[in-house]
């Protein structure tokens, strides 16, 4: 096949074999209807991403320069850090994920977006909730539970906002055309329904009717882990299942594998979480169950990975041209890396080394950035041109964005993992003073800050490019922006 | 896949399975633990915490201490926590039943704090003996209570504390005797004396001989001459105010915003920080902890899991201390 301008075809995956002119028109019509809500979510997400990145840099530098602005209560490390995490989790990742999910939902239900006001109100309220929550954290109102730090007033607003979005999703489902429910929709429907249950269960068991003693920590980690898998992971996997076949114009390799992958994912990944409490004051069976579940998550990893790989088989050279494909495939591959690292650090023998070290930070960043965020970046490169009617202006900026992100997150993961292991081995050696373990990890933390600078650069580049698109300064062209000039070379048969 | 019903049921089912399995069943198993006691029903452990403890925990949470400090001791087969002297036995669910918010932590950029209170010098292990006990009333925190007694913050209560080692096992009424004292708390004399003058009910936590012995491993940081005794309340204040004055390698941020700089009136306040070098305030000024800082230190001083638990074996060398001697929790200071 020729990788000419039309060599990257835009056919529907699996769902519809025939893509006629009417369908093209219809799709353009649906895309146009999603314009306002999706752009609202994306724009807010970008703003939070920039804020979160600045906070992250601050957190990272303060960890090895502790005297930096430490006399101001709301800039103390212990407040900026949860502010950074929550801005990224609820401001950036959730909003960008919802933006992509909304667009996919409309496309896959094959109907124009109805009730846009629900989404507009949802986006406004969500922003308000995140804003109040972050203010609450820096003013010293944090609840202290990982990823649930937002004080109650912010949590309630977030929940209301979320209810609006989720009810929209369910309504859209009722208007869908066609009997088939595409794989992406399983994941999206799962994410849309899991999140409110999860959030409500977490809030209830921690704040409304708090459980006793150490169970609070168990509920906290159960929430955080399921948020990572059932909310972010599900959105990212669903998006990858759409974008990869879509961009290369080829149906998903196996529907059966996808089914197995989805149900094992839902079943096993939801049982993980307690492995983070390893050796803690808990009944051993809880931790063992989660370790077992973590091992079993290799089934969905293998099936999903195999499915994507076989779909991509022979089309990998297209990553040279399509920004969407490059980001999405990077993210999909990171899903495997993320899961394998998660498995390694939860085995009891390894965990006794890395349990209380920076390695768990590496794990969260692998999941939330290398996997989720990269997939979402990819989807934004696909979706935004269809919303604003312009193509991305500079291929060079996209390339810079990709490489800065990829090297940034790669370096960060490496630094935190290696640093975590050396920190752990110093800590497990009682003949060394405890401060040795901190000394050991500090050089790695400086390296992490360097990686953070790369990520900061990548995010500013992307935000600038995104801003150009919003202002209508993209290219007017019928051909998408390719990363490299498409020569008349053949890319098939590789 | 066709049809919404199977999809929906599956999505709901997997989630419900995980929710029941990982939160409901554990809650049924360990969610309703009671304190343990000996045959006579005395020597109750753990015991409810004071109001200062609760507020100190809030300060701990608000400033994100939990992101660098854990509060759990791992068993001897996993990690070197016990060899490091962070505890004489592993932590168990029962240790935490009275904590409104359990802060087990997931990171150790700083030491484990599960037994930080037990590491206080003997005579200091009482949750809030000296400087911390004084401010029970809000007045103590802000008013420059002129203190004629030349007592250092650290040593204020130690003599008296030694007199009440293991009087009676702590009844649950830990605080009534001192409940009256906050009214007079502004008077330094009353403060210093209060542990001694409340014989019956002052909990025997005042002296925890078990404390120092638990530190088997390499001590960290190293006690420097001229500084308050390690892990005493006064030491904690100096450490929070200026971590690198105690350990140059520390990467803990300073929490100066929890302290107040004010003019000295006639004499230094009892709770003024003993700072040296560049941290020392200019002549005529002093650095005193705010009430939040005092609560935070009170919280840390009360973190103590050295009391033996029936279902967990302790390491020898830090044996079961005389009844009640190591009882960690109850603070003599009433919630305010």
Of the candidates A71, A81, A213, which has its C-beta nearest B64's C-beta?
A81
Give the model's pLDDT for residue B80: 87
Which CATH number is B218's domain given? 1.10.760.10
Which pTM was predicted? Answer: 0.83
In a domain, B314, yes or no: no
Q: Which residues pair with B261 in a beta bridge?
A: B287
Q: pLDDT for A94-109, tens place per residue? A: 999 999 999 999 999 9
Inform me whether the C-beta atom of residue B212 falls under 8 Å from chain A C-beta atoms.
no
Q: B41 lies in a domain?
A: no
Q: Which of residues 335-354 of A touch B (CB under 8 A)?
A: 348, 351-352
% pLDDT > 90, chain A? 78
Average pLDDT for A428-433: 89
pLDDT tens digits along A18-70:
556 788 888 888 999 999 999 999 999 999 999 999 999 999 999 988 888 88
Q: Is the pLDDT of residue B177 over 50?
A: no
pLDDT of residue B135: 37
Residue B227: which domain range?
51-164+174-301
For chain A, percent of residues with pLDDT exceeding 70: 94
Number of alpha carbons in the 13 Å side-chain half-sphere of residue B138: 1
Instruction: Report how many Cβ contacts below 8 Å link chain A to chain B.
Output: 232
Residue A454 is predicted with a pLDDT of 96
Segment A457-464 shows an average pLDDT of 97
Using alpha carbons, select from A346, A465, A357, A354 the residue that is nearest to residue A405: A465
Is-contact A400 A461, C-beta < 8 A?
Answer: yes
ipTM: 0.89
User: How far A488 CA sits from the closest chain B CA (Å)?
Assistant: 40
The domains of chain A, with CATH numbers, are 22-470 (1.20.210.10)
Q: Is B200 on the interface with A (CB under 8 A)?
A: no
The answer to whether residue B295 is domain-embedded is yes
Answer yes or no: do B27 and A267 touch at CB < 8 A.
no
Would residue B22 count as lying in a domain? no
Token pair for A301: 């990893």
**C-alpha angle with apex B200: B195 to B206, nearest 5 degrees?**
40
pLDDT at residue B123, rounded to an integer: 67
Distance between CA A199 and CA A206 in Å, rounded? 11
Identify the three-state secondary structure at position A463: helix
A263 in contact with B at a CB cutoff of 8 Å? yes
Does residue B203 fall inside a structural domain? yes
Give the tokens for residue B175: 């605080």
A274 vs B: CB within 8 A: yes
| Domain presence at residue B31 | no
Please write the tens of the pLDDT for every residue from B245-279: 888 888 899 999 999 999 888 788 888 888 888 88
Interface of A with B in 439-468 (CB under 8 A): 439, 441-442
- Report yes or no on B114 lying in a domain: yes
Note whether B14 contacts A142, CB cutoff 8 Å. no
Residues of chain B contacting residue A205, judged by C-beta atoms under 8 Å apart:
23, 27
Residue B148 has a pLDDT of: 39
DSSP helix/strand/coil, A180 = strand
Q: Name the residue among B6, B272, B323, B10 with its Cα closest to residue B170.
A: B323
Q: What total of structural domains would you count in chain B?
A: 1
Judge whether B242 is closer than 8 Å to chain A, CB to CB: no
Q: Which of A210-219, A424-433, B78-87, B127-136 is the least confident region?
A: B127-136
Neighbours of B34 (CB within 10 A): 8
Tell me which residues of chain A, numbers 113 to 152, contact chain B at a CB-CB cutoff of 8 Å: 140-144, 146
In eight-state DSSP terms, residue A2 is B
pLDDT computed for residue A69 by the predictor: 85
Residue B1 is predicted with a pLDDT of 56
Q: Which residues contact A288 (CB under 8 A, 6 or more apart)?
A: none
A438 → closest Cβ in B2, B26, B109: B109
Unique residue bearing structure tokens 């929940």: A159
B22, A218 Cβ separation under 8 angstroms: yes
In terms of CA atoms, which chain B residue is nearest residue A285? B26
Give the 3-state DSSP-derived string for chain B, with helices as H, strands as E and coil as C. Answer: CECHHHHHHHHHHHHHHHHHHHHHHHHHHHCCCCCECCCCCCCCECCCCCHHHHHHHHHHHHCCHHHCCCCCCCCCCCCCCCCCCCCCCCCCHHHHCCCCCCCCCCCCCCCCCCCHHHHCCCCCCCCCCCCCCHHHCHHHHHCCCCCCCCCCCCCCCHHHHHCCCCCCCCCCCCCHHHHCHHHHCCCHHHHHHHHHHCCCCCCHHHCCCHHHHCCCCCCCCCCCCCCCCCCCHHHHHHHHHCHHHHCCCCCCCCCHHHEEEEECECECCCCCCCCCHHHCCCCCEEEEECHHHHHHHHHHHCCCCCCCCCCCCCCCCCCCCCCCCCCCCCCCCCCC
pLDDT of residue B140: 35
Give domain status of residue B261, yes or no.
yes
């Amino acid at each position: 096949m020729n990788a000419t301008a039309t060599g990257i075809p835009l056919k529907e995956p699996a769902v519809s074999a025939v893509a006629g002119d009417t369908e093209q028109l219809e799709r353009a019509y649906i895309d146009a209807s999603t314009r306002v809500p999706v752009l609202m979510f994306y724009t807010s997400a970008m703003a939070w991403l920039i804020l979160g990145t600045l906070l992250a840099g601050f957190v990272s530098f303060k960890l090895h320069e502790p005297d930096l602005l430490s006399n101001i209560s709301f800039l103390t490390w212990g407040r900026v850090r949860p502010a950074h995490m929550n801005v990224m989790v609820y401001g950036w990742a959730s909003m960008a994920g919802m933006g992509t999910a909304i667009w996919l939902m409309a496309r896959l239900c094959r109907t124009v977006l109805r009730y846009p006001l629900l989404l507009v109100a949802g986006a406004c309220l969500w922003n308000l909730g995140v804003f109040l929550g972050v203010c609450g954290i820096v003013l010293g109102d944090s609840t202290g539970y990982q990823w649930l730090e937002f004080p109650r007033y912010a949590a309630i607003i977030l929940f209301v906002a979320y209810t609006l979005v989720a009810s929209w999703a369910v309504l859209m489902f009722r208007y869908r055309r066609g009997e088939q429910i595409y794989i992406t929709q399983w994941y999206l429907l799962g994410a849309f329904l899991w999140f409110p249950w999860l959030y409500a269960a977490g809030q209830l068991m921690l704040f409304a009717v708090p459980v006793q003693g150490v169970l609070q920590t168990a509920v906290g980690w159960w929430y955080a882990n399921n948020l990572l898998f059932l909310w972010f992971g599900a959105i990212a996997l669903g998006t990858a299942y759409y974008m990869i076949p879509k961009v290369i114009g080829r149906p998903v390799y196996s529907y059966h594998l996808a089914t197995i992958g989805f149900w094992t994912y839902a079943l096993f990944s939801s049982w993980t979480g307690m492995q983070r409490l390893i050796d803690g004051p808990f009944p051993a069976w809880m931790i063992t169950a989660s370790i077992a579940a973590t091992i079993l998550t290799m089934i969905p990893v293998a099936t999903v990975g195999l499915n994507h790989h076989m779909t991509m088989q022979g089309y990998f050279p297209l990553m040279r041209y399509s920004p969407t494909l490059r980001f999405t495939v990077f993210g999909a591959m990171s899903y495997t890396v993320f899961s394998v690292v998660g498995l390694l650090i939860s085995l009891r023998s390894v965990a006794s080394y890395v349990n209380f070290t920076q390695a768990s930070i590496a794990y969260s960043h692998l999941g939330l950035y290398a996997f989720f965020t990269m997939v979402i970046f990819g989807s934004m490169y696909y979706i935004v041109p269809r919303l604003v009617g312009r193509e991305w202006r500079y291929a060079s900026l996209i390339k810079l964005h990709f490489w800065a992100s990829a090297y940034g997150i790669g370096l960060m993961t490496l630094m935190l993992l290696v640093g975590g292991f050396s920190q752990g081995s110093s800590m497990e050696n009682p003949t060394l003073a405890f401060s040795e373990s901190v000394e050991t990890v500090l050089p790695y933390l400086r390296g992490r800050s360097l990686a953070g600078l790369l990520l900061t650069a990548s995010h500013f580049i992307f935000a600038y490019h995104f801003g150009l698109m919003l202002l209508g300064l993209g290219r007017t062209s019928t051909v998408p922006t390719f990363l490299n000039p498409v020569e008349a070379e053949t890319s098939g048969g590789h | 896949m066709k049809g919404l019903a199977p999809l929906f049921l599956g999505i709901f089912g997997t989630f419900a399975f995980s929710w029941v399995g990982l939160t409901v069943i554990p809650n049924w198993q360990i969610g309703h633990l009671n304190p343990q006691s000996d045959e006579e029903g005395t020597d109750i452990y753990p015991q409810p915490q004071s109001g200062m403890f609760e507020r100190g925990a809030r300060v701990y949470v608000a400033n994100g201490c939990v992101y660098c400090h854990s509060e759990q001791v791992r068993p001897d087969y996993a990690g070197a926590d016990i060899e490091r002297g962070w505890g004489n036995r592993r932590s168990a669910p029962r240790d935490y039943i009275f904590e409104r918010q359990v802060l087990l932590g997931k990171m150790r950029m700083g030491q484990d704090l599960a037994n930080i209170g037990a590491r206080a010098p003997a005579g200091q292990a009482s949750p809030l003996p000296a400087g911390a006990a004084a401010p029970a009333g809000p007045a103590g925190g802000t008013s420059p209570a002129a203190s004629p007694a030349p007592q250092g913050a650290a040593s204020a209560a130690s003599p008296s504390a030694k007199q009440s080692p293991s009087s009676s096992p702590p009844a649950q009424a830990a605080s009534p005797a001192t409940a009256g004292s906050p009214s007079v708390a502004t008077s330094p004399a009353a403060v210093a004396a209060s542990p001694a003058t409340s014989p019956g009910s002052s909990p025997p936590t005042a002296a925890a001989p078990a404390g120092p012995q638990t530190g088997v491993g390499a001590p960290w940081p190293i006690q420097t001459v001229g500084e308050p005794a390690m892990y005493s309340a006064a030491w904690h204040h100096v450490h929070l105010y200026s971590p690198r004055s105690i350990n140059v390698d520390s990467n803990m941020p300073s929490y100066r915003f929890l302290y107040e700089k004010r003019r000295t009136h006639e004499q230094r306040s009892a709770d003024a920080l003993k700072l040296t070098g560049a941290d020392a305030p200019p002549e005529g000024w002093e650095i005193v902890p705010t009430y939040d800082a005092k609560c935070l230190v009170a919280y840390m001083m009360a973190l103590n899991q050295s009391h033996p638990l029936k279902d967990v074996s302790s390491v020898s060398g830090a044996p079961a201390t005389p009844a009640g001697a190591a009882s960690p929790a109850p603070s003599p200071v009433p919630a305010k």
